[in-house]
Amino acid sequence: MTDHKKIWEDALLEIEMGVSRANFSTWFKNTYISKQEDGTIYINVPSAFVKDWLQNKYHKLILKALRDTLPDTRGVEYIIQKDIQPPKEHAGELEQKIPSAQLRLNEPYVSRDDNLNPRYIFDGFIVGPFNELAYAAAQAVIKNPGATYNPLYIYGGTGLGKTHLIQAIGNHIKKSKPNAKVYYLASERYVTEIVNSITNNTINITKEKYKKYDALIIDDVQFFSKKDKVQEEMFHLFNDFYNNNKQIIFSSDKPPKYIQDLEERLRSRFEGGMIVDISKPEYESKMAILNHKLKTLNYSLPAEILDFIASSVQESIRELEGILNAVICQSQLKNKELTVNDVKTLLKNNSKQQKSLSIKDIVRIIAEFYNIEEKHLYEKTRKREVVKPRQIAMYILRENFNSSYPQIGEKLGGRDHTTVIHACEKIKEDIKKSDNLMREIEQIKSLLFGPENKISSSAGVV
């Protein structure tokens, strides 16, 4: 019999090393494994707020910790229980109670037939200037799947709503066409399936499995980089779908042309339909997202607190909603309305630990984005494909890290500070003329300041 207590205790030991003591105490208290089925581990949590926080902020950390203990772990589900009563072995822990008004006890379940989360629908998707083009493309696809915008390729930084939007397309197709077979999966899972099928000599079975679907949605296709056999199988699968007028939808953190080590024939397939981006939300959109979230939770907060959250959180929608959940949770735990100063303290305690970022790290990320060798950005070459990324590197170092012109010039190949000034001014002017350039730079910033790097835009460079 599986010892769920021991598994969770071992996982918590690893998780504790990756979060602050305050966060660990707040978000992992009164959690435990209730069951394990077909590689999925079910963790009981005391409230919707804790569930959202674990899903949005710590899911990857939890999944990794569980896989270190149980390598065959495929996924994690979080189950909300009202006034949660842990099993006897956890009886010594302090019970955390959240009023039942904030609980969603009968949340939709992710179907194994299609992997779609029923919560991801268009009704819950806030549209603003930052994502309106992607939303319009999605609406065009659901009206005529397989014919309009095929493939649809949506790119943007972490936590900006790509997964919500592409799954909303899938859920809408299911609802409007009950006989249509839709399938969603993360690229890592597709990679794992292909590798396993090659190892087990079952590749033909895997191929046939995917051909039965009418619409295929694949998240984070940038992870196909450098995986030649996976790319080959995806190329053939793509052709089969396209030739049979079946809808294909991809998401990524960057446009196809900037995915490193991607076969040209697959890149051209990605670029053959509609490519749209989702950028960071502006203030008004963030306020709309916060108000919508409060409405779904049947909760209210003072306008000044919402204004502070919208003005302070810059990273992503996921972080925005996570902070809102934390504010509500703390307000309920303390049984009082928080002040702006309370929220400031909460934001400070839950902010990512800052670390210094080297100029070499920044150059590496920009080189990877533009699919060129890192060493070329240091060379004194006037090749167009190198000059632009180098000027962008100078611009970001100056604008976002407040590096001095002489320091930038010295680190990037020993150039004179006047060259750096010219580069920064040129990028500033080009941004005004080119929306594409502006989007590219926003994508680079999302890679630099994203959760995976744990870097704040206020951190310095070394």
CATH number at residue 95: 3.30.300.180
CA dihedral 33, 34, 35, 36 (to 10 degrees): -20
* Residue 336 shares a structural domain with residue 395: no
H/E element, 152: strand 152-156
pLDDT tier for residue 2 given thresholds of 50, 70 and 90: low
Cα distances from 297 to residues 103, 195, 273, 338, in angstroms, run 8, 42, 38, 17
Q: How far apart are alpha carbons 88 and 430 in whole angstroms?
A: 64
113 within a domain of the structure (yes/no): no
Dihedral sign, CA of 378, 379, 382, 385?
Answer: negative
* Listed range (58-67, 121-130, 141-150, 344-353) with the worst mean pLDDT: 344-353
* Listed range (350-354, 374-378, 424-428) with the worst mean pLDDT: 350-354
317 within a domain of the structure (yes/no): yes
pLDDT at 90: 42
pLDDT at 351: 55
Provide the domain limits for residue 343: 283-350
- Percent of the chain's residues with pLDDT above 90: 34
Give the pair of three-digit tokens for residue 408.
């930038």
If one compares 321 and 19, the residue with the highest pLDDT of the two is 321
pLDDT at 121: 93
pLDDT of 84 above 50: no
| Token pair 């702006």: residue | 340
Residue 161 near residue 133 (C-beta atoms within 8 A): no
457 within a domain of the structure (yes/no): no
310: helix, strand or coil: helix
Residue 407 near residue 419 (C-beta atoms within 8 A): no
Residue 168 near residue 131 (C-beta atoms within 8 A): no
> What average pLDDT does range 355-383 have in this prediction?
84
How do residues 90-117 score in pLDDT, each as one tens digit? 433 333 333 333 333 334 456 778 889 8
* Residue 245 shares a structural domain with residue 97: no
Give the pair of three-digit tokens for residue 449.
């300041």
* Residue 250 shares a structural domain with residue 168: yes
Q: Read off the pTM.
A: 0.61
* Residue 202 shares a structural domain with residue 88: no
End residue of a domain, out of 226, 257, 278: 278
How do residues 233-288 score in pLDDT, each as one tens digit? 999 999 999 999 999 999 998 899 888 889 999 999 999 999 999 988 889 999 99
CA dihedral 399, 402, 404, 408 (to 10 degrees): -60
pLDDT at 450: 58
pLDDT at 219: 92
Give the pair of three-digit tokens for residue 11.
């996982």
- Characterize 111-130 residue by residue with b for buried, 16 or more Cβ atoms within 10 angstroms of its Cβ, and e for exposed: eeebbbbeebbbeebbbbeb
Q: Mean of the per-residue pLDDT values for the chain?
A: 83
* Listed range (17-26, 82-91, 114-123) with the worst mean pLDDT: 82-91
End residue of a domain, out of 278, 296, 322: 278
Residue 120 near residue 164 (C-beta atoms within 8 A): yes
97 within a domain of the structure (yes/no): yes
How do residues 305-331 score in pLDDT, each as one tens digit? 999 999 888 767 888 888 888 888 778
pLDDT of 123 above 50: yes
Residue 121 near residue 166 (C-beta atoms within 8 A): no
- CATH number for the domain spanning 270: value is 3.40.50.300
* Residue 144 shares a structural domain with residue 273: yes
SS (H, E, C) 394-440: HHHHHHHHCCCHHHHHHHCCCCCHHHHHHHHHHHHHHHHHCHHHHHH
- CATH number for the domain spanning 321: value is 1.10.8.60
152 within a domain of the structure (yes/no): yes
pLDDT of 365 above 60: yes
* Residue 344 shares a structural domain with residue 365: no
455 within a domain of the structure (yes/no): no
Question: For residue 219, which of 258, 178, 262, 248 has the smallest C-alpha distance?
Answer: 248
Segments in 213-316 forming alpha helices (H): 228-243, 264-270, 283-297, 303-312
* Residue 249 shares a structural domain with residue 302: no
Task: Name residues whose C-beta falls within 8 Å of residue 71's C-beta, 6 or more positions apart in sequence.
Answer: none
pLDDT tier for residue 357 given thresholds of 50, 70 and 90: low
Q: How many domains does the chain fold into? A: 4
* Residue 146 shares a structural domain with residue 272: yes
> What average pLDDT does range 357-364 have in this prediction?
83
Segments in 99-155 forming alpha helices (H): 132-143
* Residue 132 shares a structural domain with residue 250: yes
Question: For residue 276, which of 141, 144, 396, 186 has the smallest C-alpha distance?
Answer: 141
* Residue 300 shares a structural domain with residue 366: no
End residue of a domain, out of 52, 70, 102: 102
pLDDT at 109: 55
* Residue 195 shares a structural domain with residue 127: yes
* Residue 162 shares a structural domain with residue 182: yes
If one compares 353 and 371, the residue with the highest pLDDT of the two is 371
459 within a domain of the structure (yes/no): no
Give the pair of three-digit tokens for residue 406.
């002489």
How do residues 438-455 score in pLDDT, each as one tens digit? 888 888 887 776 544 444
- Percent of the chain's residues with pLDDT above 70: 87
pLDDT at 94: 31
Task: Name residues whose C-beta falls within 8 Å of residue 211's C-beta, 6 or more positions apart in sequence.
Answer: 237, 240
- CATH number for the domain spanning 386: value is 1.10.1750.10
pLDDT at 459: 44
The pairing of strands 152-156 and 274-278 is parallel
Q: How far apart are alpha carbons 411 and 377 in whole angstroms?
A: 10
pLDDT of 88 above 80: no
pLDDT at 115: 87
117 within a domain of the structure (yes/no): no
